[in-house]
Structure 1
Amino acid sequence: MKFRNLEIYVDYGKVDISLIRNFEQAFGIKLPKLYIELCLNHNAPSIKNNCITYYDFYNDEEGMTSIGFDAFINEEDFDGYSMSNILRQYICDDSIYGYEHVYSFGSSANGDWICFDYRDNPVGDEPKICIVIHDEYDKKTGKHLLFPIADNFEQFLDKLKTFDEVMAKYE
Structure 2
Amino acid sequence: MTELFEDSDYYTGPQVDWDMIRVAEKDLGVRLPRGYIEMLLVRNGGTPRRRCCPTTFPTSWADDHFEISGIRGIGGPWGIDSSSGLGSSYLIKEWGYPEIGVVFCDTPSAGHDTVMFDYSECGPEGEPAVAYVDEDRVPRRVASSFDEFISMLFDDNVTDASMA
Place the TM-score, normalised by the shorter chain, in its bin: 0.7 to 0.9
Q: Name the CA shift for 1:58/1:153 in 2 (closer, same or farther; >3 Å).
A: closer
C-alpha deviation, 1:4, in angstroms? 7.5
Q: Which runs of 5+ in 1 are unaligned?
A: 75-81, 138-143
Q: Which residue of 2 aligns with 1:105?
A: 104
C-alpha deviation, 1:85, in angstroms? 2.8
Structure showing the higher helix proportion among its residues: 2
**Greater shift in the superposed pair: 151-160 or 97-106:** 97-106
Does 1:68 pair with 2:61? no
Note the 1:13-162 alignment, pairs <5 A. Answer: 14-56=15-57, 61-74=63-76, 82=77, 84-87=78-81, 88-90=87-89, 94=93, 97-111=96-110, 112-133=113-134, 136-137=135-136, 144-162=137-155
Q: Which runs of 5+ in 2 are unaligned?
A: 82-86
Larger Rg: 1
Q: TM-score, normalised by structure 1?
A: 0.72
Q: What's the secondary structure of 1:121's corresponding residue?
A: coil
Does 1:9 pair with 2:7? yes
Kindly provide the CA deviation profile for residues 16-36 of structure 1, in whole angstroms up to 9, marking residues without a partner as x.
Answer: 222221111112211111100
Q: Name the CA shift for 1:71/1:58 in 2 (closer, same or farther; >3 Å).
A: closer
Structure showing the higher strand proportion among its residues: 1
Q: TM-score, normalised by structure 2?
A: 0.75
1:7–1:47: 8 Å Cα contact kept in structure 2? yes
Q: Distance in 1 between matches of 2:53 and 2:144?
A: 14
Identity, % of aligned positions: 22
Q: How many residues of Structure 1 are paired with residues of Structure 2 in the alignment? A: 152
Aligned residues: CA RMSD: 3.1
